[in-house]
Amino acid sequence: MPRFPGVYVAVITPFTADDRVDLPRLRAHVTWLIDQGVHGIVPAGSCGEYATLTDGEREQVVENVAEACKNRVPVVVGTGASSTRDAVRWAEHARRCGAAGIMALPPSAYRPSRREIEAWYAALDAVGLPIVAYNNPFDTTVDLVPELLEKLAQLENLVAVKEYSGDVRRIPLILERTGLEVIVGCDDLALEGFVAGATGWIAGLTNVVARESVALYDLIVAGKREEATALYRKLLPLFRYDSRPTFVQAIKYAFDLVGKSAGTTRPPRLALDEIDRAAIASALEPFLAVAKN
């Protein structure tokens, strides 16, 4: 049985007008996501702008999300960091907060050797929490190819991979070679990913269209391919922003459109231009009535 089936949301980090982490709004948003039917929450990922948070802010984000999710849905905490020491520290903090697992990027400060990648994940494995390895070769210098995952899968606690390479052909190969759970990492490959054998989805734009995302998953699991495809095509104009560098800005702008401001993104992320704002407004328009509730 998969450890992390269903729709997990890589939750945003809301900020106040004076650029402080808005913890009450964060807790309220997590509660809303759970009420919409999502299966889990992932704080402190790239969608949550972890790299721009101070250590104190990041601790508060994880602790508040864990409290909001308590006894309702599991939490999988992002451990992205530049050093092994820091990644392990965030994993240990996640364990103290009662997390069900961690989502672990590979080293990101420079291009590591394979031996260093293996040592990185071995250090995280020693913490004792289930690990979702996060393959994001666009934002790191590492591509966790199936051959490398086959080696990493020998670690006791590495149980899944969030696959964000964009190559859906990898999913069957990973399943064949490793036995790891595969979790879709690209919103605009969700349907294809599940058809290829993925059992979970860590989603970004689902922050805004949670109910529709869960409905898509339910249709796929029920084998209602035609209905799932129709809903997926309706969502795709919005979901395609998940694969762009401006995905966090897109989500936060969508929040503005539904009247649930989450503040701006922190630099170096800048506000969207007029073209993107218009495109997001158009993509979100079919869902506005639901998203505002």
pLDDT at 109: 83
Interaxial angle between packed helices 84-96 and 114-125, expressed in degrees from 0 to 180 and rounded to the nearest 10: 20
pLDDT at position 1: 84
Write out pLDDT tens, residues 144-154.
999 999 999 99
Token reading at 131: 């690990």
CA dihedral of 65, 212, 47, 30, whole degrees rounded to 10: -10
For the residues of 59-98, what is the DSSP string, one character each?
Answer: HHHHHHHHHHHTTTS-BEEE---SSHHHHHHHHHHHHHTT
Residue 189 gets which letter from DSSP? G
**Residue 232: which pLDDT band, with cuts at 50, 70 and 90?**
very high
- pLDDT tops 80 at residue 252: yes
- Give yes or no for a contact between 8 and 30, defined as CB atoms under 8 angstroms apart: no
Does residue 33 register a pLDDT over 80?
Answer: yes
Residue 127 has pLDDT above 80, yes or no: yes
Q: Which residue has the tokens 């966090």?
A: 248
Catalytic (active site) residue 162? yes
Per-residue model confidence as pLDDT tens digits over 4-29:
999 999 999 999 999 999 999 999 99
The fold adopted by the segment(s) 6-223 is TIM Barrel (3.20.20)
pLDDT on residue 61: 98
- Contact 12/208 with Cβ under 8 angstroms? no
According to DSSP, the β-strands at 181-184 and 6-10 are: unpaired
From the candidates 134, 217, 241, 253, which is the catalytic residue?
Answer: 134
Spell out the domain ranges in the chain. 6-223
d(CA 77, CA 158): 14
Instruction: Select which of 162, 164, 232, 252 is catalytic.
Output: 162
